[in-house]
C-alpha cells in the first residue's frame, strides 16, 4: 500500500506492467506519491473541479489528483502499455477517472469536461510547449480552463515567467502574461524522476484572468510579438518593418523608441503597438 491511497507503490506498478521508460515518448516518471500530491494541490480547489491530465504514464500524478479530491480526472495517454495500470486506478476511484488512449495534440479532451476545469500535467517534453500555446490561444477569452499547473524543463518554465529585460523574455512570456497570472510553483531536481532527465524541471502555475491585462486583438498581437522576437537582437524598426511601411512613426506614437530591442518592451507596450497597428 502507498502513502496516499490503497494502491501498490509505483515501482511495483511499473514492474508488474513492464513499463520501462521510453525516451521517444518523453517518459520521465514521478514515483514519489507525496510529491505528486503536492503538485496536485497547486492546481486549485480540486474537490470542485474537473481535471485534464496529459500523459498520466503509470499514474503517479493521476493518483495525486484523485487522492487530493479532484471531482473527475480525464487522462489522455499515448502509450497503450500504461492502460492496464491506469485501469487499476480507475477501479479504486469509481466514476472519477476516465482514461483516453490517444495523442493529446489530436484529442479534443477539454470538450468532455465540465467547468470549473483545471489542467495539470507532467508534460512530455516534445509536445509541452505546443500544448501550452494552444491552451493560451483559444478562440474566446476567458478559456474553459481556470488554471494550468504544468511541469516543464526549467529553462521553458523560466521563459514563461520571464520579465522584460531578461534573456528568457520572449513570445511565450508575452503570450502567457498578457492573459494569466503566472508563477513558478516548484523546482524539481533531475533525481525526482525515473529515469532522471539531463536538466532540472519546474512546475509553472498559470491562472486565467477574466479579461486580458491590456486590450489588443490577439491575432495582431501575435503577429507583432512573433516578428519582434524572431530577430530579437535587432532594433524594432528593423525587425518590425514588414508590419507597416511607417513602423517608426507607429512605435513613437505608442512611446516605444524605434531603436529599442524586443526583449525590453513590456506586455503593455506590445499591446499598445498591436492596438495602433490593428
Contact residues for ligand SAM (CB under 6 A)?
Answer: 25-30, 54-57, 60-61, 76-79, 82, 103-105, 122, 124, 127
Question: In the β-sheet with 50-54, what is the strand arrangement from edge to edge?
Answer: 97-101, 72-77, 50-54, 117-122, 145-153, 201-208, 180-188
- Residues 248/237, Cβ–Cβ less than 8 Å: yes
Closest approach, Cβ 42 to ligand SAM, in A, equals 14
Coil, strand, or helix at residue 2? coil
CB of 68 to ligand SAM, least distance (A): 14
Comparison of 65 and 236: residue with beta carbon closer to ligand SAM: 65
Taking the least distance from each CB to ligand SAM, the nearer of 104 and 216 is: 104
Q: Choose between 188 and 274: whose C-beta lies nearer to ligand SAM.
A: 188
Closer to ligand SAM at the Cβ: 126 or 259?
126
d(CA 130, CA 26): 14
Residue 138: CB minimum distance to ligand SAM, A: 19
* Residues 6 or more apart in contact with residue 126 via CB below 8 angstroms: 26
Closest CA to 32 of 55, 57, 4, 7: 4
CA 84, CA 217: separation in Å to the nearest integer? 46
3-state secondary structure at position 25: helix
C-alpha cell belonging to residue 36:
505528486
Closest residue to ligand SAM, Cβ-based? 55
**Least distance CB 39 / ligand SAM (angstroms):** 8
DSSP 56: -
Min CB(204)–ligand SAM separation in Å: 15
The residue (of 61 and 224) whose beta carbon lies closer to ligand SAM is 61
Amino acid at each position: 500500500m502507498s502513502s496516499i491511497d490503497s494502491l501498490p507503490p509505483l515501482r511495483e506498478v511499473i514492474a508488474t506492467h513492464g513499463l520501462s521508460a521510453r525516451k521517444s515518448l518523453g517518459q520521465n516518471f514521478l514515483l514519489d506519491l507525496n510529491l505528486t500530491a503536492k503538485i496536485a494541490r497547486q492546481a486549485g480547489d480540486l474537490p470542485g473541479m474537473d481535471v485534464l491530465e496529459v500523459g498520466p504514464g503509470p499514474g503517479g500524478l493521476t493518483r495525486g489528483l484523485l487522492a487530493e479530491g479532484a471531482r473527475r480526472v480525464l487522462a489522455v495517454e499515448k502509450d497503450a502499455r500504461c492502460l492496464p495500470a491506469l485501469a487499476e486506478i480507475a477501479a479504486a476511484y469509481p466514476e472519477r477517472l476516465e482514461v483516453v488512449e490517444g495523442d493529446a495534440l489530436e484529442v479534443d479532451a477539454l470538450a468532455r469536461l465540465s467547468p470549473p476545469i483545471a489542467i495539470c500535467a507532467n508534460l512530455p517534453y516534445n509536445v509541452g510547449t505546443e500544448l501550452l500555446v494552444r491552451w493560451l490561444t483559444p478562440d474566446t477569452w476567458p478559456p474553459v480552463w481556470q488554471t494550468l499547473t504544468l511541469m516543464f524543463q526549467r529553462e521553458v518554465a523560466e521563459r514563461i515567467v520571464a520579465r522584460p529585460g531578461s534573456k528568457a523574455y520572449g513570445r511565450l512570456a508575452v503570450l502567457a502574461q498578457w492573459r494569466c497570472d503566472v508563477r513558478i510553483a516548484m523546482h524539481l531536481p533531475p533525481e525526482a524522476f525515473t529515469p532522471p532527465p539531463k536538466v532540472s524541471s519546474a512546475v509553472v502555475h498559470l491562472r486565467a484572468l477574466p479579461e486580458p491585462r491590456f486590450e489588443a486583438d490577439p491575432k495582431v498581437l501575435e503577429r507583432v510579438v512573433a516578428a519582434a522576437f524572431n530577430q530579437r537582437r535587432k532594433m524594432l524598426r528593423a525587425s518590425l518593418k514588414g508590419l507597416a511601411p511607417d513602423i517608426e512613426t507607429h512605435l513613437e506614437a505608442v512611446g516605444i523608441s524605434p531603436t529599442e530591442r524586443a526583449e525590453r518592451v513590456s506586455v503593455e507596450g506590445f499591446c499598445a503597438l498591436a492596438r495602433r497597428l490593428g
